[in-house]
Amino acid sequence: MKNLTNSNVERQNILNNRFALEKIQDYIGISGMLFEGEYRFTTQMIADFYGVDERTIKRYLENYEMELKHNGYILSKGKQLKDLKLQFGHVINVPSKTTQLGLFNFRAFLNLGMLLVESENAKLLRSKMLDIVIDTINERTGGGTKFINRKDSDYLPTAIRESKYRKEFTSALSRYIDMGNYKYSLYTDKIYQCIFKENSQEYKQILKLEEKENARDTMYSEILNLIASFETGIAFEIEKHYKSLGRKLQPAEVDDIFKYFSEHPLQRPHIEDARIKMASRDLHFRDAFHKKLEEYIHSISPADFERFLGEQSVSFEEQLEEAKDVMKRLKQSE
């Protein structure tokens, strides 16, 4: 089981997932003070809920100040504090001379619960949070996450475009490289290794794919876009070298093209972005750990949760229906 107390990434993944937060809030059944559009909690309220003293809460505030502020902890002062006292003075029971008061919103309330090692209540809540997150993702993806990439409305148009660039790439391999059919799998794997450091077999093992399942069917649109960029770019370079040399290329010459293309400064930010998205999304959504991309694991953005789990997500069947005419024209043109 994931240890939330040790991982800022895992904590942030939960806090960025509004669908899970709604279910966690329903499960806890705690509301707090509805102030300025969201529920707020004082340090004393937090301490009471988690069964610790205020000094413990304040120690965590000192040690994790930036993280807790990022997730909604504020110091209320001035007019805001005055308004709070007018509405909830009977609840917060603070001295009239108080000039600032720490307030947690629900995200910061949960954030602290993910950190508190002294609290048995927090420990129990952390365990339930992880269960709720898994249930929420499965519920919103129809029970499985192997093809969660297809919930992205950009997936199918990207996959269709990528197949066109794939043909350019395989055509260049066929016409301009002096090598047997092994070159197709060899250089496809080289593209994968350039982008996300894994060959197709390694990728399939990490995602627990069946031997006959196509790895690209599970890849996010950004990964497919970058693969397409490599395919069309390398195809262009192979053809250019063929015309310059007046003969088919040898494997060592093709390797040099791959090295040049993958190390070009223009590719670096795109490769890094692809690695971050693959490593981070697969770990959280699919529980698939890309060891070679470990340094690229970040938290999932709120926008990504909307993209794959929220209103922005679109079922693959709907995408197929919408793209039916496009696919028909493509088939007729072949």
**328: Cβ contacts below 8 Å, ≥ 6 apart:** none
Overall average pLDDT of the 106-119 stretch: 96
pTM: 0.87
- The per-residue pLDDT for 89 is 83
Torsion, CA 74, CA 80, CA 83, CA 85, rounded to 10: 40
Query: Looking at the predicted structure, is the pLDDT value of residue 203 above 90?
Result: yes
**CA 25-27-28 angle, 5° bins:** 65
Write down the pLDDT at residue 326.
52
- For the cut 70, the answer to whether the pLDDT of residue 319 exceeds it is no
* Predicted local confidence at residue 45, as pLDDT: 93
* Residue-level pLDDT at 314: 76
Location of structure tokens 């007046």: 246
pLDDT at 90 exceeding the cut of 90: no
Confidence (pLDDT) at 12: 97
The pLDDT assigned to 47 comes to 95
Q: Determine the straight-line distance between the first and last CA of the chain, rounded to whole angstroms.
A: 50
CA dist 74 and 48 (Å) reads 19
Residue ranges per structural domain of the chain: 4-140, 148-333
Q: Which residue has the tokens 């108080």?
A: 98
CA–CA dist 271, 12 (Å, integer) = 24
Instruction: Give residue-wise pLDDT tens across range 243-278.
Output: 999 999 999 999 999 999 999 999 999 999 999 999
What residue type is 230 in one-letter code?
F
Rg (CA), the chain: 26
